[in-house]
Amino acid sequence: MHLIALTGGIASGKSTVAARLAELGAVIIDADRLAREVVEPGTDALQQIGDTFGADLIQTDGTLDRPGLGKRVFGQPEQLQKLNAITHPAVHRLALARMAAAEAADPEAIVIYDVPLLVESRSKRPFDFEFAVVVSAAEETRVGRLVELRGMSEVDARSRVGSQSTEAERLAIADAVIDSNGTLGQTLAQVDALWQTLRALPAR
């Protein structure tokens, strides 16, 4: 199995790259999706959130009141740290289980771990990635996408972009870079070329 990290800032085009890699045959493990799964009804993490932040955050249908939780941790580093201490280990365990399942199904699988906050989290719970792919787009391009495609105000868009790691910090860990500033076709062509590189990685 080859374990590849895929990262990129908000509105960088990372989801487009991940979708193309899936079409080409990669196994995609989406960290954001795992983060939602670990707090589904009946999970230990959801129970811990209720115990820590208030049982009222678990709604009558058993789901998490995400907006309510957000209000209790937003702008409060200590509270956010408590939340992360619950969810991050759960995501890590689930990711390891998915990786193991992918390898069991196909020992030669190319597994892509789609993780937006790779730079921010890599020192805390690192995986043994053998290759890191960064999807890169200029700040103005990303702001424009957030305004045009997600309906954000320019102020909010710049705030979201500015709250993440810098492009330089992401590029510093890259083994390969997909430049998504151009057309969709240009981006996909780069992904297709990347796939050939990944398929040629030596067996571990």
pLDDT over threshold 70, residue 13: yes
pTM of the predicted protein model:
0.87
Domains of the chain with CATH codes: 2-46+91-199 (3.40.50.300)
User: Number of C-alpha atoms within 13 angstroms, CB side, residue 196?
Assistant: 5
Output the known binding site. Answer: 11-16
pLDDT band at 126 (very low <50, low <70, confident <90, very high): low
Q: Which of 103-107, 161-165, 192-196 has the lowest mean pLDDT?
A: 161-165
Output the known binding site for ATP. Answer: 11-16
pLDDT over threshold 80, residue 66: yes
What is the structure's pLDDT at 178?
Answer: 97
Contact 144, 13 (CB under 8 A): no
CA 7 – CA 113 distance, rounded (Å): 8
Burial 68-80 (b: 16+ CB within 10 A, else e): ebeebbeeeeeee
